[in-house]
Amino acid sequence: MGTLTRWCVRAAVSGILLLCTVAVRADSPAAPDRFDRSTALAVSQAAIGRPVGDGVFHTSNGVPRQISDYAGKPLVISLVFTSCHHICPTTTKHLATVVEKARDVLGEDSFSVVTLGFDAPNDTADAMRVFAAQQGVDLDGWDFLSGDQADIDALAADLGFQYYPSPSGFDHLIQSSIVDADGIVFRQVYGIQFETPHLIEPLKALVQGAGEAWRVAVRPFRAELAHSPALRRALGRYLLVLMAQRATSAGCMRFHEVGPRLARWLLMSQDRARSNQFRVTHEFLAYMLGVRRVGVTAAAGELHRRGLIEYHRGEMKILDRQGLESASCSCYSADERMYSESMP
| Domain ranges, ordered by start, for the chain | 3-207, 229-342
* CB-CB contact of 293 with 283 (8 Å): yes
Mean pLDDT of 151-159: 96
For 103-106, the CB contacts below 8 A with 24+ separation are 104/283, 105/200, 105/204, 105/281, 105/283, 105/284, 105/286, 105/287, 106/200, 106/203, 106/204, 106/207, 106/208, 106/281, 106/283, 106/284
The topology (CATH level 3) of 229-342 is: Arc Repressor Mutant, subunit A (1.10.10)
Nearest to 147, CA basis, from 180, 124, 131: 124
Mean pLDDT of 126-135: 96
Please report the pLDDT score of residue 90 as a whole number: 96
Please report the pLDDT score of residue 22 as a whole number: 37
* CB-CB contact of 164 with 33 (8 Å): yes
Kindly report, residue by residue over 110-120, the tens digit of the pLDDT: 899 999 999 99
pTM to 2 decimal places: 0.64
Please report the pLDDT score of residue 258 as a whole number: 94
Mean pLDDT of 240-251: 89
If phi over 0 gives left and psi between -120 and 50 gives alpha, with beta otherwise, what is residue 100? alpha
Pick the CATH number of 3-207 from 3.90.1150.10, 3.40.30.10, 3.60.21.10, 3.30.43.10: 3.40.30.10
Q: Is the pLDDT at 30 greater than 80, yes or no?
A: no
Nearest to 204, CA basis, from 217, 187, 192, 218: 187
Please report the pLDDT score of residue 168 as a whole number: 63
